[in-house]
């Protein structure tokens, strides 16, 4: 048989494999949402995002002054954001860099996001 007869079958198989891999990654992320430490927040019109105090009670030591956020789409670039905290009155906030993250990911006021802590000071952010 000619080798060109098999070439389209191999290409189709590779495409199917890539599609299955993409679906498996998406399923894996969906399954881990419940397993990974996470919190839900609605976007607001200001230039910061508050980390809920209930999340901080458990995971305070895992969130440093510099945090990495991976954008709301698979394959989005990772961006650096600073977080601040004052034990007296103020909650920990994503500040410097949050506005750029929100703009780059086309976030609008009123969108619901899940922040999944996948490593120390590293969150994957997705729209719900």
Q: How does pLDDT run across 85-120, given as a tens digit for each residue?
A: 766 556 788 888 999 999 999 999 999 999 999 999
- H or E stretch at 79: strand 78-84
Query: CA-CA distance, 103 to 12, in Å (whole number)?
Result: 37
| In the chain, where the domains are located | 1-32, 37-127
Strands 112-119 and 38-42: antiparallel
* Mean pLDDT, rounded, for 51-69: 92
pTM score above 0.95: no
Does domain 37-127 sit in CATH 1.10.3810.10?
A: no
Given CA atoms 30, 107, 38, 64 in this order, what sign does their dihedral have? positive
């Amino acid at each position: 048989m000619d080798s060109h007869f098999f070439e389209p079958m191999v290409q189709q198989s590779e495409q199917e494999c890539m599609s299955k891999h993409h679906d498996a990654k998406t399923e894996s992320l969906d399954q881990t949402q419940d397993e990974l430490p996470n919190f839900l927040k609605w976007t607001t019109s200001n230039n910061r995002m508050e980390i809920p105090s209930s999340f901080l009670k458990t995971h305070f030591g895992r969130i440093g002054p510099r945090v990495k956020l991976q954008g709301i789409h698979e394959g989005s670039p990772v961006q650096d954001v600073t977080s601040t905290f004052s034990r007296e009155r103020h909650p920990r906030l994503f500040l410097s860099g949050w506005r750029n993250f929100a703009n780059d990911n086309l976030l609008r006021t009123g969108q619901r996001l899940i922040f999944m802590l996948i490593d120390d000071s590293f969150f994957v952010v997705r729209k719900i």
